[in-house]
Structure formats: structure tokens, C-alpha cells
Amino acid sequence: MDQQQLIEAVKAPMDIEAVRGLFLAGSYGRGTADDWSDVDFIAVVSEGQERMVADQWRAVLQRITPIVFWNELPRGVIVLNAISEEWLRCDLTVATAKDFGRRAKNLVKPLIDRDGIYDGLPDTLPPKEPDAGTVQYLIHEFIRMLGLMPVGVGRGEYVTMVLGVGMMRGHLEALLMQDVTNPDPGGILHQSKLLPPEQMQLLASLPYPGPEREALIAANLAVAREFMPRARAMAKRLDIAWPEEFEAATRRRLASTLGEEVGRAW
């Protein structure tokens, strides 16, 4: 069974009165799916029927193909993840009409639509703007992690520091993603389609150190040299107060423990 066969197979057994609408979302809703895509569904259901529809969905999937992984996420609405024995991945969000969320016609495709929900959607959503709260968090957390470098080095926790470099790279990636204007960008495994080639090349060029003292220090600073000026520019653009005292204290801490050149490395 492939993704298209799954989509066709679920329509008839999910066409029950409690399901007011069944939509494709994600890459299949946007029309950007490839051979590696999972299938995202949204079921719009009558009030009070969420659990019944969730149970119906699990039974339907089990009849179509053996399910080897099942998970329910607590997100206010019911979100169900499933993986078949062939590693076909599909997710279902079960929501009432009021929880359908910000959707647009170019982001979903109707499979069942009893109430004309699709016709009431806008054609598109406005471009996404950077979130000031997220950017502020990234800035403060990045500086905090820089300040923890002497702790890892002092204790010789080089394996843990490898993980820390990965987290700092993740903060840089998250900062770059703040400028992606697509209102429905998809998951992290779409990143190369969302960031411009020069930013993907930047991320690829950053070091992936092993658990060695000097390599880890150099990697932290390499990421900092890319993150900090971009973060400062974005903070100015979003009118976020830059944590000058926190950054200055962190520079002094690095200089006193790892050397003057480390304290002024970005």
C-alpha cells in the first residue's frame, strides 16, 4: 500500500455522520508531496464525537493495513500518529469546526465535506511573520549555552558538549526559519526547500566536532559568529531589547575561563 492507496481506502469507512469533513493537510494538502511524504488528515467532527471518531479511525486503519506504531498527542485537540508495518506514516487531527484553525484552500484538499467548510476558506493565508517571543527566547538561550561552555570544559564533559553544539546549531536553524514567510512550512525535513541555498550551505559548512576540547570550543564559537549578528539584526527589526548585560557578562566569563580571545570571538 502507498500513500494514494491509503487516501482512497479511508474515505468510504470514514464517511459517517459524525465526520462533517475529512481533509488532506500537510504536503498532500498543499500539493507538494513526494515519495517520502507522510499523509496528514484533518477530521472535522460534531461536538462530543471526538473520541468516537478517533476510535473509528484506529479501527479503519487496522482493517486497511497492520499498524505497528500508535500514539495520541495531547494538544487540545486529538492528534493521532500511526505507522504501518510497511512504514507508511499517517496522522489524523480530530477537531470540531471551531478548532479547525487557520486554514486556506491552497493548504487542504477535501475528501468529505458535508457542510461546505472548504468553500468558506480563504484562498490563501497571509505571509508568516517572525515571532518576537520565539526570537527573544532563542537569543537568551543561545547566550546562556555559550556561558555554560566553561562548565562542560571544566568537568571534561565532552560527549555532552557535542550534544550542546547540536542544540546551538538548532537555535541558529530556528532563527533562520523565522524569516520563512510560508504560513504552512511543513516539518523539519522540508528545510532544504524552505531556506535559500546560501543558508543551507552555511549550515552545512559549520563544524560537527567530536568529543575533543579544542574542537568543541571552536565549534561553539563558529556557530556564535553566525548566530549573534543575525540575532542582533532581527532583534532590532522586531524591536526586541538586546540583553547587553547578559552578553557582556558571558563574554567576561568566557574570557576569564577559556582565554581572552574566546571572550571576543564573535
pLDDT on residue 264? 96
The CB-side HSE value for 211 (13 A sphere, CA atoms) comes to 9
What is residue 188's predicted lDDT score, i.e. its pLDDT?
74
Q: What is the mean pLDDT of each run of 10 residues along the chain (266 residues)?
A: 96 97 96 94 96 96 96 90 97 93 93 96 95 98 98 98 97 97 82 93 97 98 98 98 98 97 96
Residues 73/87, Cβ–Cβ less than 8 Å: no
Q: What is the pLDDT of residue 174?
A: 97
CATH numbers and ranges of domains, the chain: 3-120 (3.30.460.10), 132-263 (1.20.120)
pLDDT of residue 33: 93
Residue 17 is classified by DSSP as T
Neighbouring-strand partners of residue 67: 84
pLDDT of residue 253: 98
pLDDT at 239: 98
**101-124 per-residue burial string, b: 16 or more CB within 10 A, e: under 16:** eebbbbbbebbbeeeebeeebeee
pTM of the predicted model as reported, rounded to 2 decimal places = 0.88
